[in-house]
């Protein structure tokens, strides 16, 4: 069974859900690689965990840059020699607007991080897990409630998260011969910078603006940790964890 001593990678580990998950992995005893754009924020995440700094490797990385991702995985191989779990979490969004007002530049900004970045990280992880001895590992992709249903004015983000579902399913099939498991966690309204405005009111499909419930990101972290700790002959294919009272069931 996976657990303490295994090597985990968390992308987008400098804030929000990624930070909460990196802290959870460190506290559970995983040797944890933290990737994100800002080195100082990654180091801050390690300090907040209270874990032994020797368990952590902080690597500044833009996941949409193939060279940077190659460098990230080179650093992992040099430090730890293997990789057991990836939480493929890094993502971004743009201000909500109808699809007719969405610029190609904003579309590409979201796709380059949420889709290209997720692919680059998953591909590199797959190759590491396929080549290592013992072979195998687990990739957990961060989907979203938006992988199922959109919010108003979210064409780029919603399309990117639907793409993650296809990526998850494909990796699950491709990974079977190599003991590489792949699952997806779809998160709804975890407290973060991205959801900071929700308690004050956000646009709804009927044109109104209403407050929405949020939950502590620690609940996402415990869910990811559960998925990660399963033996490789078991897999959570899809999990939805969300604020109980958010408008998802019955959205629209």
Residues marked active site are found at: 157
| 13: nearest Cα among 79, 50, 59 | 59
- Starting at the edge strand found earlier in the chain, the sheet holding 137-142 runs 56-60, 31-36, 7-11, 85-88, 137-142, 180-188, 238-242
DSSP state of 189: S
Partner residues linked to 210 by β-bridges: 202
Instruction: Indicate the SS3 state at residue 55.
Output: helix
CA 27 to CA 18: how far, in whole Å? 14
């Amino acid at each position: 069974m996976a657990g303490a001593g295994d090597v985990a990678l968390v992308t987008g580990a400098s804030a929000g859900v990624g930070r909460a998950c990196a802290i959870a992995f460190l506290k559970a005893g995983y040797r944890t690689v933290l990737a994100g754009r800002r080195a100082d924020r990654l180091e801050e995440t390690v300090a907040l965990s209270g874990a032994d700094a020797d368990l952590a490797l902080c690597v500044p990385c833009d996941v949409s840059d193939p060279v940077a991702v190659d460098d990230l995985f080179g650093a992992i191989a040099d430090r730890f020699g293997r990789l057991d779990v990836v939480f493929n979490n890094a993502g971004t969004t743009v201000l909500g607007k109808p699809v007719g007002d969405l610029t190609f530049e904003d579309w590409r900004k979201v796709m380059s991080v949420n889709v290209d970045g997720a692919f680059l990280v998953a591909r590199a992880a797959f190759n590491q897990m396929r080549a290592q001895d013992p072979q195998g590992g687990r990739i957990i992709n961060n989907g979203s409630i938006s992988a199922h249903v959109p919010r108003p004015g979210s064409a780029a983000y919603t399309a990117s998260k639907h793409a993650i579902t296809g990526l998850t399913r494909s990796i699950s099939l491709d990974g079977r011969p190599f003991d590489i498991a792949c699952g997806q966690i779809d998160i709804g309204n975890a407290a973060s910078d991205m959801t900071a405005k929700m308690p004050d009111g956000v646009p709804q499909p009927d044109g109104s603006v209403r407050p929405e419930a949020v939950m502590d990101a620690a609940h996402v972290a415990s869910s990811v940790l559960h998925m990660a700790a399963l033996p490789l002959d078991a897999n959570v294919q899809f999990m939805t964890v969300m604020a109980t009272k958010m408008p998802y069931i019955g959205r629209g």
